Amino acid sequence: MKLVYRVTPKQRLIIVEHALKQMQAFAQHRSDDREAGGVLLGRHLLDSRDVVIDEVSTPQSSDRRSRYGFFRSSTHQALARQRWLEESSTSAYLGLWHTHPERDPTPSGVDQRDWKQAVAGDTYEGDRLFFPIVGTHCIRIWTLSRRGTYRELKLESKNAKTKSNA
């Protein structure tokens, strides 16, 4: 299954099955599960304005994790840089993801400050970064542009590969 979100009238964000499963594996279903997160890696398609998330970094031993908090270590940046080099400069940094122990996740003030810091200070292609939060029953995604435009993306479709994934 892949998820497709509408970014602008002419742009979509596509999360492929592998990346989706990587994030969902860390959903906080049990009361002792800790928040997790990482960076989004993918590509800007040449023949359209669409953006594809192909993979994500997963929690590292150097991260600080608790039930209601997550601090992403610099190891994630090193992993993204390594991937960029391995992929002949075609793998792009697209944003940050993390989990919340909520059925329907919403960003905290800490999350929003972290996102503003990423948009202002990180190096990336394009006009915006993406910020999925994985809840216990759904994934919600926000975007923040270099101009400061902040909004939640709406799910356009779920494309199932098999009937059992629908």
Contact 70, 92 (CB under 8 A): no
SS3 48: coil
Neighbouring CB atoms inside 10 A of 57's CB total 22
- Out of 17, 35, 102, 152, which one is annotated catalytic? 35
Distance CA 102, CA 134 (A): 9
Catalytic residue list contains 102:
no
Pairing of strands 150-152, 37-44: unpaired
Residues designated as active site: 35
